Amino acid sequence: MRPTGKLHLGNYMGALANWVKLEKSGQYECYFFVADWHALTTDYADPSRIKLNTLDVALDWLAAGLDPEKSTIFIQSHVLQHAELNLLLGMMTPLGWLERVPTYKEQQENLATKDLTNFGFLGYPVLMASDILLYQAQFVPVGQDQSAHVELTRETARRFNSMYKTAVFPEPDALFTPSPKLTGTDGRKMSKSYGNTIGLTEATPSVAAKIASMSTNGQRLRQTDPGDPDLCPVGDLHKVFSAPEVIEATRTGCRTASLRCECCKAEATKSVCSVTGPIYDKRMQLESNIEQTWEMLRAQSIKAAARAEETMRQVRDVFGLSHELGAVKRYFGASEEELNNRRDLNQIKAFAEPGSTETPENDLIRSHWLTNLLPKEIAITVEPDETWLTAKKKRVLAVAANLAADTSTWTFEIPQKSYEVWVLLCRDDKNWLEDFILPQKYFSQPFAKAKKSLKKDAKIPVSLRKVGDRFLLSIHGSESFDITALQRNYEPLQ
């Protein structure tokens, strides 16, 4: 939500009340943030109230029931990954996509007093898409008027995944939430620009005064005249806030002219204040310790940034911008001795200090081999489903195993899938890593027999046994065959 100051009843019923319900349902992991960068797309000329408005919005959220123990509630500009992803997605977003967003020209017309011929305003849908995709969201709770932005986000995710042959971003769906009609005190749409709002956290006397002065759309010039509650802004308040019996009584009283307008407005005041009164009280409590709310927002922003960084690591990898040296290391000259030393896993912290990383050990071995041991002239690409492909599109299976205790045998589990090449990574009891590269002709027949004898989807056991200087392979109890010549033989991967 853009920070434009304290919220009014239209903001509450249009979005916030539904957010609270979503959070309480427990069905979703929710992220709610104050979009202060979005505010600058139109209010860049005077940012003096940005921080105050940000706090006003956050306080109203908390007062209305959003709970930082259940959701992540943060400030957009405190999570720099929003800007980073916005920049990167902007590189691949066609200009025509932005110019056709319906709200682009509408906002320019509605805010004619402001100069909106700026890059930030044109590109704000990219920032909005970044806000959503950064958390790999499945759903976005919006009204119908925001559906175009969600669709542009879906198109952006689709274009990214297709262009870079990856699956980093899901295509989020709009989670349309009910937004009942709620007019302002003058009968027009409730909007701060019209000066016709009723504040969500206004004190009861102020709410009562505003409702008492509300327009009735020119109806019931005499109290003996019948009216139509469906045409009256006060009737809209009843529909949203009053109990069914109150709604029925006031509608009947209006149509039969048996209920005076001031009495109808008094009933509406009771109904509205039964909702806003507790929210006002909670807001006053929060204001008395504003530092605590600010520190909560800072802490929650750090939490959001940690989740955002998970996504950005994947995005940076796609663009070749990762913060680690990674696989390019092998493209730079290394002596035979240095390459050999890289097989000593004792020199790698993750292997020398078990538990120093949460990444599974076998995944670490695969990654280390791909990054540090595979000859630089061989290109391997990793597909979104983790399948490895050679330059000639051969499917490669790389599996790792530790030497079984008190034996000379490594045991691998091979999935029942079709691969042209197997890479067997063998870690011995001294933390030394050796590799064997098997083209399909070596394993196809015993592998096919093993598939027939096992249940579908069962892993196929493969054992590699060292006998003197020889290495003998057996697939699901098959007769052993010698693969010694395939040690460090990278030709099948060319």
Domain count, the chain: 3
Here the CATH number for the domain that contains residue 120 is 3.40.50.620
Q: Examine the domain organization and report whether 124 and 160 are in the same domain.
A: yes
> Per the domain annotation, does 389 fall within a domain?
yes
> Per the domain annotation, does 195 fall within a domain?
no
What does the pLDDT read at residue 472? 97
Q: Examine the domain organization and report whether 120 and 247 are in the same domain.
A: no
> Per the domain annotation, does 191 fall within a domain?
no
Percent of the chain with pLDDT over 90: 73
Distance CA 427, CA 369 (A): 11
> Per the domain annotation, does 192 fall within a domain?
no
Chain mean position to CA 486: 45
Q: Examine the domain organization and report whether 86 and 157 are in the same domain.
A: yes
Q: Examine the domain organization and report whether 399 and 435 are in the same domain.
A: yes
> Per the domain annotation, does 188 fall within a domain?
no
Q: Examine the domain organization and report whether 131 and 246 are in the same domain.
A: no
The tens digit of pLDDT for each residue in 317-347 reads 899 898 888 777 777 777 788 888 889 998 8
Q: Examine the domain organization and report whether 359 and 469 are in the same domain.
A: yes
Q: Examine the domain organization and report whether 361 and 389 are in the same domain.
A: yes
Confidence of residue 357 (pLDDT cuts 50, 70, 90): low
> Per the domain annotation, does 488 fall within a domain?
yes
Confidence of residue 356 (pLDDT cuts 50, 70, 90): low
Here the CATH number for the domain that contains residue 265 is 1.10.240.10
> Per the domain annotation, does 26 fall within a domain?
yes
What does the pLDDT read at residue 349? 78
| Structural domain span for residue 297 | 9-182+289-312
Q: Check if the beta carbon of residue 239 is closer than 8 Å to that of residue 180.
A: yes
The dihedral formed by the CA atoms of 372, 377, 378 and 381, expressed in degrees to the nearest 10:
80
Residue 85 pLDDT greater than 80, yes or no: yes
Q: Examine the domain organization and report whether 126 and 41 are in the same domain.
A: yes
What DSSP state is assigned to residue 183?
B
Surface-to-core class of residue 316, CB atoms within 10 Å of its CB (0-12 exposed, 13-18 middle, 19+ buried): middle
Q: Examine the domain organization and report whether 230 and 160 are in the same domain.
A: no
Q: Examine the domain organization and report whether 262 and 297 are in the same domain.
A: no
What does the pLDDT read at residue 355? 64
The tens digit of pLDDT for each residue in 87-98 reads 999 999 999 999
Q: Examine the domain organization and report whether 105 and 31 are in the same domain.
A: yes
| CA atoms within 13 A of residue 267's CA, in its CB half-sphere | 23
The tens digit of pLDDT for each residue in 6-44 reads 999 999 999 999 999 999 999 999 999 999 999 999 899
- The pLDDT of 232-246, averaged and rounded, is 95
Q: Check if the beta carbon of residue 171 is closer than 8 Å to that of residue 157.
A: yes
Q: Examine the domain organization and report whether 242 and 296 are in the same domain.
A: no
The tens digit of pLDDT for each residue in 201-238 reads 999 999 999 999 998 888 888 888 999 999 999 999 99
> Per the domain annotation, does 19 fall within a domain?
yes
Here the CATH number for the domain that contains residue 441 is 3.40.1350
Confidence of residue 394 (pLDDT cuts 50, 70, 90): very high
Q: Work out whether strand 433-439 and strand 481-482 pair parallel, antiparallel, or are unpaired.
A: unpaired
